[in-house]
Amino acid sequence: MAKPFPLEPVESPSILTPYRRIRGLLPSKETREQLDRLRAAESRSMQGQPPVIWDRAQGVNVYDVHGNMWLDFSSGVLVANAGHGHPQIAAAIVEQASKPLLTTYCFPNVPRIRLTQKLVSLAPPKLNKVLLLSTGSETTECALKLMRTHGRRIGGDDKNVIVAFLDSFHGRTLGAQQMGGVLGGRDWIKHRDPDIIHVPFPDGFRNEDTSFQLFERSLADAGVEPDNVAGVITETYQGAGPYFMPNEYAQALRKWCDAHAALLCFDEVQAGFGRCGALWGFELYDVVPDLFCLGKGLSSSLPISAVIGRDDVMDLYGPNEMTSTHSANPICCAAALASIEVIEQEHLAQNAATLGSALREELQAVRDQFSEVIGFAPSQGLVGGLLIVKRGSKEPNYDLAWNVVRCCFHKGLLLFAPVGVGGGCIKIAPPLCIDEAALREGCTVIKDAFQELLRGD
């Protein structure tokens, strides 16, 4: 189980740069008192992040009330693609709220009309229908339902199998978590769905066999008849790395799905909206899915998500048969439209592509310097990871990863708690508006943290 960050105040050395400002105790006495009150009243599952109470966040910075300022390498877990608190997004939210029009349930509203059209215009031509929802998990649940409904319509009851990947993450609700390939934490599910099966992801690190033959062999080993597969779902990149599949693998997967009338769904909840250096992550593979899921960076702020797909799939259900109370909330839609505009106007996907080489270079340098404890340092665009291992092995080293995150926090660099297999992955995902100087400064802080923690080893 992940551990909470301790609340005992630590005297941090004073730091003052254009991107970081830290002084005094972290957390302060007042912050600690507030966090104690929060912990007493709230589920333990919310205790996993470093102890800062966000007061405001702007661009690439997060501030507390005491004047501390962190350089953010989390984007609030890959949400704030357009940058924190972007004035255009804030203005759109205020304008919509002060109309006032706060909710419409499933009755139409103008921001919903504009957002669905915008998303369709940005999607590949054959993916011409959208369903707006609220969370990423809702989108993957919806994809599961659509893939199975489609499968059974064209192939009968047996065409029900969903293929997903080991170590993947699609959310924490019943179907989403069963499609997820993180096998721990599923003890609460007594009756597992026997028609959801997992195959190894071709990450090139934990699984060195990146050939597509392994996909086919794994299905055969699981006794799955390819024509019984209703759909294949994969994160565009596995968040646990980030791990990308080889392009040839993605293209072979597309062909395989076509040959067996199985739908291909990319979960772009993390990868979408410029994160990987293209608007959609799957563009990197030169492959078009039948469905894709969006969340997080869609609005850079408020809870809104979407499934986009072929109309014959998206229209499988009739009026009122596939809805969710807060779908297409007008304020969330206005925020999403503004965020997409910012991403376009400020060329943020392009910025991610350009700075991608700086991030890659920095992470490789950290890896080279600490190669005994960093097993792999993949990155693409503005998402990267450091896979922390026990010396000379591939076994995840959660404690060291966690200590690096904690040490960076005290140095004014905000990372979220380690993720992935065994909690060994330190993930780097700054807002896409970051500049090169800030990106390099943040990476230097990470390097300093390793140096400090491994001193004397």
Ligand X SMILES: Cc1ncc(COP(=O)(O)O)c(C=O)c1O
In angstroms, give the least distance from the CB of 437 to ligand X: 29
Q: Per rule CB under 6 A, is residue 239 in the interface with ligand X?
A: yes
Per CB under 6 A, the segment of 167-175, 377-385, 423-431, 433-441 that binds ligand X is: 167-175
Residue 391 exposed, middle or buried by CB count within 10 Å (0-12, 13-18, 19+): exposed
3-state secondary structure 199-210: ECCCCCCCCCCC
The piece of 99-107, 168-176, 254-262, 280-288 that touches ligand X (CB under 6 A) is 168-176
d(CA 335, CA 213): 43
Q: Which of 75, 137, 379, 403 binds ligand X (CB under 6 A)?
A: 137
User: Does 427 engage in binding with ligand X (CB under 6 A)?
Assistant: no
By CB under 6 A, the count of residues binding ligand X is: 13
Q: Are the beta carbons of 81 and 59 closer than 8 angstroms?
A: no
Q: Please tell me the distance from the alpha carbon of residue 43 to that of residue 27, in angstroms, as a whole number.
A: 21
Smaller CB distance to ligand X: residue 231 or 412? 231
Q: How far is the CB of 169 from ligand X (least distance, A)?
A: 5
Figure out which of the listed residues 76, 83, 151, 171 binds ligand X, where binding follows CB under 6 A. Answer: 171
If 0-12 CB within 10 Å is exposed, 13-18 middle and 19+ buried, where does residue 167 land?
buried
Residue 26 or 240: the one with the smaller Cβ distance to ligand X is 240
Q: Least distance to ligand X from the beta carbon of 138, Å?
A: 7
For the bound state, the minimum distance from the C-beta of residue 270 to ligand X, rounded and expressed in Å, comes to: 4
**Candidates 156-164, 242-250, 257-265, 267-275 — which segment interacts with ligand X by CB under 6 A?**
267-275
Could you say whether residue 267 binds ligand X (CB under 6 A)?
Answer: yes
Nearer to ligand X, 136 or 356 (CB): 136
The stretches of 11-109 forming alpha helices (DSSP H) are 29-41, 75-78, 87-97
Query: 340 and 269 in contact (C-beta within 8 Å)?
Result: no
In angstroms, give the least distance from the CB of 69 to ligand X.
26
**Nearest to ligand X by Cβ — which residue?**
136
Q: What is the DSSP annotation of 171-195?
A: -SSHHHHHHS---TT-TT-SS--TT
Helix/strand/coil for 31: helix
**442-to-241, 360, 438, 446 alpha-carbon distances in Å:** 19, 13, 6, 7
Within 278-307, the residues that bind ligand X by CB under 6 A are 295
**Residue 327 binding ligand X, by CB under 6 A:** no
| In contact, 81 and 295? CB cutoff 8 Å | no
Q: Determine, following the binding rule CB under 6 A, whether residue 135 of this chain makes contact with ligand X.
A: yes
Q: Is 270 in the site for ligand X (CB under 6 A)?
A: yes
Applying CB under 6 A, which residues contact ligand X?
A: 135-137, 140, 169-171, 235, 239, 267, 269-270, 295
